[in-house]
Amino acid sequence: MTTVSPGPAPLVPSFGEESSGRKLAVICSKGNLDMAYPGLILANAALGEGVEVHLFFTFWGFDMINKSTYADLKFTMLGNTATHLPQGLGGLPGMTSIATSRLKKSIAGLDIPDVPEFLDQIVDSGGHLWACRLSADMQHLDEDDLIDTVEGVISAADFIEKTEGAQIIFI
Amino acid sequence: MPVTTIDGHTIHVDDEGFMTDYDEWDEQLASTLAGQIGVELTDEHWKALHFLRTDFREKGETPTLRRVSVSAGIPTKTLFALFPAKPAKKMAYVAGLPKPRGCV
């Protein structure tokens, strides 16, 4: 009788537990084009790693899920010293639309989707979108004004409850 | 570069176990790799895997999830169903390619 000794175990990447229970809450409070992307990119990356993700849109972040603005977010040089250009330039007529169109082009050039498509991708990946009740009241908006993939208009307390144990990113 | 043996196939891999030699991969090996991570390959899996292989050969880079969904026409939801939890990395592993570097 012969015995076959098993060789060393093959090296296989660890993809972690199917459900590690890790949760991420991303609070989006800004409506500028350049401030929309960090939250979307982090949320999308976390979903791709099997993390449960909830996004909460509040204050100016509401522009990211408002049907009338979400495809038309803008980037301005004003107040943004990271452009390293004289601030006065940003105040010239037409500068915001030039800056916006250049940023959109460079984002598209990196094969990154625009905001509406990015939100769809996040939802398709299992992400949850929530709208802030107070912001809706402030802007006199209701669910019909928001993109259909928003699951609900909820209070800050409800969001905190839904994201128990989550890591929180505030943008 | 580590060498590992999986079901009789000896392959070059990186420190995590992703294959590093494009030409060491074949379809039989893909089924074996898929088995290692609990995935049973169907025609839909193969469509994604063949896209990854072809795209890598042309671009020299593992496509991201978005690229697979847009360019191969496989919806994101489907990719999550085919390769649960971490689709981009799992697809890359089974296709014998490095982990994707892109953020989106």
- The reported pLDDT for the residue numbered B74 is 95
Domain that holds residue B52: 3-95
**Which residues have CB under 8 Å from A147's CB, separation 6+?**
A65, A66, A67, A70, A116, A119, A129
Give A2 to chain B, closest Cα distance, Å: 19
In a domain, A5, yes or no: no
Radius of gyration of chain B (CA): 13
Give B49 to chain A, closest Cα distance, Å: 17
Q: Quick: pLDDT tens for A2-18.
A: 555 556 788 888 887 66
pTM of structure: 0.88
Residue A12 forms contact with B (CB below 8 Å): yes
In a domain, A17, yes or no: no
In a domain, B103, yes or no: no
In a domain, B21, yes or no: yes
- B65–A13 C-beta distance less than 8 A: no
Q: Which residue of B has its CA nearest to A114?
A: B104
Residue A28 pLDDT class (50, 70, 90 cuts): very high
The DSSP symbol for A129 reads E
Catalytic positions of B, written as ranges: 103
How many domains would you assign to chain B?
Answer: 1
Give one DSSP letter per residue of A84-122, joined into a string: -S-HHHHTSTTHHHHHHHHHHHHHHHTTPPPHHHHHHHH
* Model ipTM value: 0.86
In a domain, B100, yes or no: no
- The reported pLDDT for the residue numbered A17 is 64
- The reported pLDDT for the residue numbered B87 is 94
> CB neighbours (10 Å) of residue B81?
11
A52: phi then psi, degrees, rounded to nearest 5: -75, 130
Q: Quick: pLDDT tens for B20-72.
A: 999 999 999 999 999 999 999 999 999 999 999 999 999 999 999 999 999 99
Q: Residue A106: is its pLDDT beyond 80? A: yes
**CATH number (domain holding residue A38):** 3.40.1260.10
How many domains would you assign to chain A?
Answer: 1
In a domain, A14, yes or no: no
Residue A123 forms contact with B (CB below 8 Å): no
Domain that holds residue A30: 23-170
The predicted model gives A119-146 an average pLDDT of: 95
